[in-house]
Copies of this chain bind each other. A is one copy, B any other.
Amino acid sequence: MIANLKLLLIAIELLFVTFSYAQKPVLVIHGGAGNISKSHIPDSLAVKYKAKLSEALRAGYAVLERGGTSLEAVRTAINIMENSPLFNAGKGAVFTNKGTNEMDASIMDGATLNAGAVAGVMHIKNPINAAIEVMLHSPHVLLSGEGAETFARAQGLEMVDASYFYTEKRYRQLKKAQERESETQGYISPWLNDFKFGTVGAVALDKQGNIVAGTSTGGMTNKRFGRIGDSPIIGAGTYANNNTCGVSATGHGEYFIRSVAAHDISALMEYKGLSLREAADEVINKKLKEMGGSGGVIGLDKNGNITMTFNTNGMFRGYIKQKGDPQVFIFK
């Protein structure tokens, strides 16, 4: 009888320990940083953005709450943003100089440091899913162009006609960019600074304490020459490491590549002892800014602390933690 009672007490204690140590899940997302001011985004549009960000957060967080992996949460949240024409990823991707939509995406698993990415894909409905397949089912990290599509098709991913990605709004942006370009007579375009960058990204921490970060984008309006930005580059646009943090970036990709921004945030935490917020501030508001690079990052650390740091005047962003409601923001 007493032995049984002891066993019961031990069982209760074990349950308690398990619950108190189980990581509280956290999800943080972005839908792009840039010149996003109230004059660009009327209230009616802001409502739509906030609703879609909230939907992505709720759906991703539901995965985490029922014990799902951070990988599934990131995929779920990003798929919702990829499927919305509000963001520059999947449906809603910007147009290249040739009038095509060429998308990039990447994913990294902080538990294994495994990673996957695709660049310049034109027929994969959800590029982040292709990045995940590369990570899980190939010996490679980065696949590009038609080869990446052949791989995605073989993995059974949903493929779509290129026309699926056509949106009137993005096409007008291309035409506007090309008009301004011909005025400035060159592709080094000063108008770039006027532009919103609508890359999407998500970073999740699951109950098992694993961090996953993912990013998906249509790149830069009017891009040419097979330009690849930071989004499919591990260390630049995406990085995750259970020992430090997970990060997804958005902005003028070339600067994020040159400053190896996402990995630099992790390195500042690991080697210099900075907090996630301090590290993100150092990279986004100091290093990147001094180089002339604009954009931002979202991230979270292994304890569930988050950051949403940007040096532009707006970033579509939000987070959700501890059964709370989604917290979503647009302007500074």
What residues make up the interface of A, taking CB atoms closer than 8 Å to B?
108, 113-115, 119-120, 138-148, 150-151, 187-189, 192, 224-229, 233-236, 239, 253-254, 257-260, 263-264, 267-268, 270-272, 291
Bound complex: CA of A143 vs CA of B235, how far in Å?
Answer: 18
List chain B residues, Cβ under 8 A from A114. Answer: 258
Contact partner, A227, options B142, B235, B239, B260, Cβ 8 Å: B142
Chosen A-B contacts, 8 in total, with CB atoms closer than 8 Å, are A113-B291, A114-B258, A140-B227, A141-B257, A142-B233, A144-B144, A235-B236, A271-B272
User: Would A271 and B260 count as touching, CB distance under 8 A?
Assistant: no
User: Would A143 and B236 count as touching, CB distance under 8 A?
Assistant: no
CB-CB nearest in chain B for A235? B260
Which of A142, A143, A151, A253 neighbours the largest number of chain B CB atoms within 10 Å of its CB? A142
User: Would A239 and B260 count as touching, CB distance under 8 A?
Assistant: yes
Known contacts A140-B227, A142-B229; 15 further A-B pairs (Cβ under 8 A): A138-B187, A138-B225, A139-B188, A139-B192, A143-B226, A144-B228, A147-B226, A150-B225, A234-B257, A260-B260, A260-B263, A263-B267, A264-B267, A268-B271, A272-B272
User: Would B254 and A140 count as touching, CB distance under 8 A?
Assistant: yes
Copies in the complex: 2
User: Would B260 and A145 count as touching, CB distance under 8 A?
Assistant: no
User: Would A224 and B147 count as touching, CB distance under 8 A?
Assistant: yes
List chain B residues, Cβ under 8 A from A271. Answer: 267-268, 270-272
List chain B residues, Cβ under 8 A from A227. Answer: 140, 142-144, 147
List chain B residues, Cβ under 8 A from A267. Answer: 263-264, 267-268, 271
Decide if the interface of chain A is mainly helix, strand, loop or mixed. mixed
Contact partner, A113, options B142, B189, B224, B259, Cβ 8 Å: B259
List chain B residues, Cβ under 8 A from A225. Answer: 138, 140, 143, 147-148, 150-151
List chain B residues, Cβ under 8 A from A147. Answer: 224-227
User: Would B257 and A226 count as touching, CB distance under 8 A?
Assistant: no
Query: Distance (Å) between the CB of A163 and the closest chain B CB?
Result: 22
Bound complex: CA of A129 vs CA of B139, how far in Å?
Answer: 30
Contact partner, A142, options B188, B235, B257, Cβ 8 Å: B257
List chain B residues, Cβ under 8 A from A258. Answer: 108, 113-115, 141, 234
Bound complex: CA of A172 vs CA of B143, how far in Å?
Answer: 25
CB-CB nearest in chain B for A147? B226
Contact partner, A143, options B138, B141, B228, B259, Cβ 8 Å: B228
Shortest Cβ-Cβ A-B pairs, 7 listed: A147-B226, A267-B267, A271-B271, A235-B260, A144-B226, A147-B225, A271-B272
List chain B residues, Cβ under 8 A from A115. Answer: 257-258
Bound complex: CA of A143 vs CA of B220, how far in Å?
Answer: 13
Query: Distance (Å) between the CB of A94 and the closest chain B CB?
Result: 15
CB-CB nearest in chain B for A225? B147
Contact partner, A226, options B146, B189, B239, B272, Cβ 8 Å: B146
Bound complex: CA of A224 vs CA of B140, how far in Å?
Answer: 10
List chain B residues, Cβ under 8 A from A142. Answer: 227-229, 233, 257
List chain B residues, Cβ under 8 A from A263. Answer: 235, 260, 263-264, 267
CB-CB nearest in chain B for A146? B226
